[in-house]
Structure 1
Amino acid sequence: MTSSREETAVVIIGAGVAGLTLATFLQKSGVPCVVLERRHRAYIELRQRAGVVDARGVQMFERWGLADRLLAGPIAQTIDYRVNGRGRVFKIIADDGSAGRFCTQQMLISNLLREFIDAMSGNIRFNVTDAVIRNEENHRPQVTYSDASGSHELVCDYIVGCDGDRGISRSSIPPGTLTKYSHEFGYAWLAALVDAPVTGHPIMGVSDYGCVAQLPRGPHRSRYYLQCALSDGPEDWPDQRLWDEIRLRLCDKTIENATVHDKFFVPLRCVVYSPMQYGNLFLAGDAAHLVPPASAKGMNLALGDVDVLAEALLLAVRDDDLSALKNYSATCLPRIWNYQDFSVWMTDMMHDAGDPTQQGTFRQMTARARLDNLINSSTAARLHSEYHRGTN
C-alpha cells in the first residue's frame, strides 16, 4: 500500500449528474479537476433516476457546445393530466421554440462519462473510501481518501460537494454553520421501473383512490410512481398489488402486468440548506437542497447550480476574480426557493386532488379546480409552462 500527494485546482466529490457536468465544463475550459466517486463505474451508469432535462438545462448544454453529444431522447412538451381516468393533454408553451428533453439519468451519466473520460481524458477515481475533507481558514483545502492502491491526499484550491443528501461534503461543515429549512408532506412515493413504455403522453394522474404517474425511462421502459404511506416497504407492495393499484388509479382495466425491475420508496420532502458554501467548499444539487419528484426539478436544480458554479470557478481560477464564488449562494438560492414553491404547489395539487380521505373533499375539489385552470386558463397555462421549462 502506498501513499501519494497531488495538487489540482478543483476536487469534485460525487460522480452523479451534477458532479460530472461540472467536471466536463471545467475540463473543456482547461481547469484541472479530479472527481472522487465511492461507487464503481458500472453502478452509476446503470442507476435509473430522473428522466427530464428541462429547457433551461438544454440551453445550458447548448451554450457549452455539448447538447448534441450529451442529450438524447424525445422532446418533453406534453403531460396527460388525468382525473378519474379522463385524460387532458397539457402542452407546454414555448414562444422561443426551446423545449426540454426526455433524457434518463442513466443515458446522461453514460454520455458524460464518455465525454469526460474518453474524449477529454478527464481524471475520475472510482471505488473511493474513507474520504475526509479539510477546509480550514488560511489553508489550501485537502481531501484524503483510500482506494485499492493505498491512501492519497489531494491538495486543491476549491472543493465542490455533489455527493447527495447523505454525502461527506455537507457533513464536513461545522455544526451550526448552515441553516436547514424543511417541509415534510407526510406520505411517500413508491417508484417502480417496469417493462412498459409510455405509449402516449407522460401521465400525471389522480383518482378517488390516489395519485399515480407514468414517466418514460427510455424507449421500452417507464417509471410508475404511486402515492403510499411513509411506513410502506417492499413487503407491502408485491407486483400484483402494484399493477392492481395502477389500473385502479388510472381507471383503466386494460393495462397488463409487466416485468418490474426495481422498487424503491421516496419520502416526499423539501429541504434547503443555506448558505450553500463554507470557506472553499461549495455544495451543489442534493447536497444543498431536495425537492419531491412530482415537480421533476431535482436534477434540473442541480444543473442550475452547476451552471452558476462553473462560471464562478472559471473566473476564480483563470482571473483570480472571487466575486462570483463569494456570491454563489446568493445567486442560486432565489431560484431554488422559487422552484421549492413550485414543487410544493405541484405536489399538494396532485395529492389533494386524489383520495379524499387524505385531506378531505373540500381540498380535493379545490385541487381539481387548479388542474382545470391549467387547461382552461391561458394565464395559468403560461405560468405552468414557464415552471416546467425552468425559465421562470
Structure 2
Amino acid sequence: GRVVVVAPIDDSPAMKAGILAGDVITRIDGKPIKDMTVEKIASMIRGLPKSAVTLQIGREGFTEPIEFRLERAPVKIASVEYGIMEGGAIGYLKIKNFGSETGRDAAKAMKLFKKKGVKKVIIDVRNNPGGLLSGAVEVSELLLDREKTIVSTRGKKGSGSAEVYKSKSEPLYRGALAVLVNNGTASAAEILAAAVRDNGRGSLIGEKTFGKGSVQKSFNLDDDIGVYITVARYYTPSGEMIHKKGIEPDRKVTVEKFSESDMKGLKAVREGNLMEHFSKGGIAYTIESRESFRAFLAGKGVTLSEKTGNFILKDWINRFKKKPLYDLEFDSQLNEAVKYIGGR
C-alpha cells in the first residue's frame, strides 16, 4: 500500500521542509519504498540529529514527484497551545495530538478562558493525527454534560466486545464552541470532533476528516516481524462508524488551491532554491520584505500572484522561528470560525 502522511507534527523537520497532510512518500534517499513495512520505512527516516534524509513525495495537483531534504532533529511535542485572540472575546485552543497530559493542559486553557471572561472558544484539531483515546475522552469531558456519550468501541460481530465511554463530570466550559477540522484530523481527534457535533455542543468547520476509526493491537511474531491487528472500531455518539469515511464538517471551508500559473512559479522557486538565495542572513515579514521579494522573483523571471508570493515568504520565515499561535492572514478556515462564533 501507499505511505500517506496523515499530518506532519508542528515544528518538526517535515513541517519546516514543507511536507503536507496527504502527501505520499515514494522514495527515501533515492530508494523505492513500495512493499516495505512501516517499521522499515520509519527506521530509514530516523537518524542522528543534524544528519540529512531526502524524501520523494507525490502530491495532489503535481504531475511530477517533489523532493524534500530534511535535517533530522529531536522532535519535542507540546500537545496543547492556547491563548486569547486579539480583541479578548475568543479563546483559541490548538490540540496537536492526544497524549497523557493533553486533558490536564486543555483544562488549564479552559480555566484561563473562564478567568478572563471568555465565552466563545475555537478548538483547532486540524492536522492532529490522534493519539491516546483517553486524551480525547478527557478533553470531551471538559465540554459535555455528565452522562453524555463520547464514543463507543465495538469488536467484530459476535465477539461480544463493546464499550461505551461517557462523560463522568460536569463540563468546565459551557460557552459557544467551534472545532476546526481537515483531512489531517484523525483517530482521537475525530472522536473529539464527533462528540462535539453529535451532542449538539458546537459546529465543525473546515474539511472532511481523515477517517481513522480502528482500534489496533500489535503482536510480535519474532524479533524482526510484528503485525497490527484491528480488534475493534470506533463509533460516534450517533452510532456512525468513521473508519475510511471521515466526518463531514457542518460548515465546509476548503483551503484555497494555487492556480496553474502559480504552480509553475512555485516549481521554479523550488528548483532554483530561490527562497534560500533571497533570505540569506535572516529576514522579517514586513511590507518592505514583501516588495523586495516580488522584485527578486521578477528579476529571476518567476511570476507569482501577490497573495501566493506573500504566503510562501511568510511560510519560509516562520520555519526558522517559533510560529505564532494563529495567523488570520492566510487561514480562511480560522477566519470563518471567528466569523461564525463571533455571531453566537
- Given the two structures, how large is their TM-score scaled by the length of structure 1? 0.21
State the structure with bigger RCO (CA 8 A, min sep 6), 1 or 2: 1
- Given the two structures, how large is their TM-score scaled by the length of structure 2? 0.23
Higher strand share: 1
